[in-house]
Amino acid sequence: MLKKTHLVFSLFCLFGIPLFGQTNALQIARGAENQLSSLLNKPAMVTPPLTAPLAGKGKWYNLELDSHIFTDQASFKQIVDVLYNLEKQNQVFDGKKSKMNGTVVSRSGNETIMDFVSTAFGPLNIRVKTSYRASVRFLQNTDTKFSSEIRQLPDDSESNKDIKNLITSRYAEEVTINGKKYTYIRIYSRDEVNTSILPNAENLLKNNSGPANEEALLLIIEAAKKR
């Protein structure tokens, strides 16, 4: 069993991309509404996972993920209730490919500091656990749009041996298409991951991170249906 590396967030990011860090994920992806039939209750990547080795940093890689879905199984309000409830992350993100626990450390205005522990399940019975401290902010919460951002704290990023510069955004929007209401959900993330103890790291990142990210969207919907 592998003990600690950042395969965990390559496999899960609770979360087109022209280049690392240059996408605006706080909106409906271009052309998504035209793909309603294929995205309805069926998650997909906006683009395939992007990975690239970091020059001069050994086995560290950039990883960027962007997935989305439309649903008619839960209302926009139900989805927002799930995304807004930070204390119950472990009840929502409890999947077959990954799990996440979050503990509130402090609150100040619109910022909540949380300790996250993520566990991911990879091929060959690999189970990987990692932890990080992050700031959570709600950026938008209206009758039809919601967005939040999880950003790893700088001091944790500097000292963490598994994950650095993590940013995850969660976006939801109520849309009406042909007279019917749907909720669109998008999870985007980018970070730097340490793959020093993983053989064939780049292929593992590409092949396993996407399905886990897509599973997170389904877990949000399942939790919302119970609201």
Residue 39 pLDDT > 70: yes
What contacts 216, CB < 8 A, 6 or more positions away? 12, 13, 14, 67, 93, 95, 98, 187
Q: What's the fold here for domain 7-225?
A: Alpha-D-Glucose-1,6-Bisphosphate; Chain A, domain 4 (3.30.530)
The whole-angstrom distance between residue 86's C-alpha and the CA centroid of its chain comes to 14
Distance separating alpha carbons of residues 92 and 99, to the nearest angstrom: 9
Positive or negative, the CA dihedral 128, 133, 139, 140 is positive
- Mean pLDDT over each residue of the chain, to the nearest integer: 85
- What digits encode the pLDDT tens for the residues 75-104? 999 999 999 999 888 899 998 888 899 999
Q: Which residue has the tokens 């399905």?
A: 211
- What digits encode the pLDDT tens for the residues 148-162? 999 999 999 999 998
The candidate with the shortest Cα–Cα distance to 72, out of 223, 221, 226, is 221
- What digits encode the pLDDT tens for the residues 97-154? 888 999 999 999 999 999 999 887 766 566 667 789 999 999 999 999 999 999 999 9
* pLDDT attached to residue 23: 65
Q: What is the three-class DSSP state of 3?
A: coil
Whole-model pTM over 0.85: yes
Mean predicted confidence (pLDDT) in 42-69: 88
